[in-house]
């Protein structure tokens, strides 16, 4: 039965949902106040990586010991703003316990795996349909270490990756030099995960997906969703700043802004923004072959059509606070540690900064499934650090739910009710 489905948000998740719903023959309306895939969305500025290997949540055993350091160092890879701490505490408590044992870490890894599996191929299919297939590549991603001992110190997380099907090549110093001569010689060991890929320009990709959805019959409404009209537990309409849109179903895909909408649909979810930053250096003068994640940097380096993008940082400071651009400078300062051939005196006009909001739950798993207050509303938010990768499969699972098809994946770990 075809239905009118309103998709709230035009980031990667909303875009993939819209396309899969159109495939099923539904009438689709997309609500988005900004430009689809625009700078307001996390989908614009992320690290560009499509890594099926990203099954490790931010919460890992022993992370609670690091919290005082997160509070002390405002420029560290993970920082908590003091002024935001009182609001953050309920989320933080859940966060430090979510992955506090190896068993919990493994369980989260198992739950993330089906959302990430085959991501480069799934995105490639969507991108080709939208006429931008060349944006998706699968060249592998390098995880660079100062030496093998540094890699072995992370044996728990690599074990969880292996349990979830990740295969890798271990590169010694010589092999690493041959494969990636631009990389600093301070990295003497690396792991190459060949199945990992990249979306070279995520903002352009999402904009193309939405254009394709509109060309295939979807309507794009430039407004903001504010709530729902629900009668007898059935959805009647989505409320927006410009009035009501009658709807049979709605999909909440508003990224970090989904909390109030989820509450209006009956689920109180501890959703936070893990604010992240990127820097793009145009014409960096190097041509790295692989995206790189240096173990000592907690950031991702990847070439994009606009230049070398360095994405990373986690700042827990809420949706409202002004960006702290010193954090972007931290990313920039690290560049020459990874690529020493990049000039030290880059002119400011060749450097662009961005800050955006990862939609993050404490356990690193999204909310994906019917809302508690009304089964016609489907949650599709909270993908944290892996939303670009998981977006394609999320779209398919949302379409399965709305069509009443048996989902190919057990959705239990993603139920919003797990936080009740």
Applying CB under 6 A, the residues found at the interface with ligand FAD are: 8-14, 31-34, 40-43, 45-49, 224-225, 253-257, 276-278, 300, 311-312, 356, 358-359, 381, 383-389
For ligand FAD, which is the closer residue by CB, 49 or 374?
49
Alpha-carbon distance 225 to 243, whole Å?
9
What proportions of the chain, in percent to the nearest 5, are helix, strand and coil? 40, 25, 35
For ligand FAD, which is the closer residue by CB, 25 or 75?
75
CB atoms within 10 A of CB 412: 10
Please give the sequence-ordered ranges of beta strands (E in DSSP) within 124-168, or none if there are none: 136-137, 141-145
Taking the complex as a whole, the smallest distance from the CB of residue 10 to ligand FAD amounts, in Å, to: 5
Taking the complex as a whole, the smallest distance from the CB of residue 381 to ligand FAD amounts, in Å, to: 5
Alpha-carbon distance 254 to 17, whole Å?
12
Taking the complex as a whole, the smallest distance from the CB of residue 214 to ligand FAD amounts, in Å, to: 15
Taking the complex as a whole, the smallest distance from the CB of residue 209 to ligand FAD amounts, in Å, to: 11
For ligand FAD, which is the closer residue by CB, 109 or 384?
384
171-199 burial string, b = 16+ CB within 10 Å, else e?
Answer: beeeebeebbebbbeebbbbbbbebbbbb
For ligand FAD, which is the closer residue by CB, 21 or 188?
21
Tell me which H or E stretch contains 378.
strand 377-381
Q: Is 215 exposed, middle or buried (0-12, 13-18, 19+ CB in 10 A)?
A: exposed
Minimal CA–CA distance to 135: which of 9, 37, 225, 66?
37
Taking the complex as a whole, the smallest distance from the CB of residue 386 to ligand FAD amounts, in Å, to: 4
For ligand FAD, which is the closer residue by CB, 176 or 280?
280
For ligand FAD, which is the closer residue by CB, 51 or 182?
51
Taking the complex as a whole, the smallest distance from the CB of residue 1 to ligand FAD amounts, in Å, to: 26
């Amino acid at each position: 039965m075809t239905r009118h489905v309103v998709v709230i948000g035009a980031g990667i998740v909303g875009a993939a949902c819209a396309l899969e719903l159109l495939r099923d023959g539904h009438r689709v309306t997309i609500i988005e106040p900004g430009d689809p895939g625009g700078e307001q969305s996390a989908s614009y500025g992320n690290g560009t990586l499509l890594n099926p290997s990203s099954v490790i949540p931010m919460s890992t055993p022993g992370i609670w010991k690091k919290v005082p350091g997160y509070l002390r160092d405002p420029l560290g890879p993970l920082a908590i703003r003091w002024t935001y701490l009182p609001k953050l505490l309920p989320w933080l408590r859940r966060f430090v316990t979510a992955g506090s044992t190896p068993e919990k870490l493994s369980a989260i890894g198992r739950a993330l795996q089906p959302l990430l599996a085959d991501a480069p191929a799934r995105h490639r299919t969507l991108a080709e349909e939208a006429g931008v297939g060349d944006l998706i590549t699968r060249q592998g991603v390098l995880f660079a270490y100062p030496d093998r001992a540094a890699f072995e110190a992370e044996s728990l997380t690599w074990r969880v990756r292996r349990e979830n099907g990740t295969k890798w090549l271990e590169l010694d110093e010589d092999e690493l030099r041959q494969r990636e001569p631009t990389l600093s010689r301070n990295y003497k060991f690396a792991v190459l995960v060949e199945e990992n890929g990249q979306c070279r320009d995520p903002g352009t990709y999402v904009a193309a997906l939405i254009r394709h959805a509109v060309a295939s019959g979807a309507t794009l409404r430039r407004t903001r969703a504010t709530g729902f009209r629900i009668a007898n537990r059935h959805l009647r309409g989505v409320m927006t700043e410009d009035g009501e849109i009658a709807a049979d179903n709605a999909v909440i895909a508003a990224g970090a802004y989904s909390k109030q909408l989820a509450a209006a649909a009956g689920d109180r979810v501890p959703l936070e923004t893990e604010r992240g930053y990127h820097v793009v250096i145009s014409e960096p003068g190097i041509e790295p072959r692989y995206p790189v994640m240096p173990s000592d940097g907690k950031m991702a380096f990847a070439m994009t059509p606009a230049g070398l993008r360095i994405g990373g940082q986690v700042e827990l400071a809420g949706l409202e606070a002004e960006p702290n651009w010193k954090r972007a400078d931290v990313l920039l300062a690290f560049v020459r540690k990874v690529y020493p051939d990049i000039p030290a005196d880059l002119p400011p006009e060749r450097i662009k900064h961005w800050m955006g909001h990862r939609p993050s739950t404490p356990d690193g798993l999204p909310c994906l499934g019917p809302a508690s207050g009304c089964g016609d509303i489907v949650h599709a938010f909270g993908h944290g650090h892996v939303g670009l990768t998981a977006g394609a499969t999320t779209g398919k699972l949302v379409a399965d739910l709305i069509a009443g098809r048996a989902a190919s994946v057990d959705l239990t770990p993603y139920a919003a009710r797990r936080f009740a």
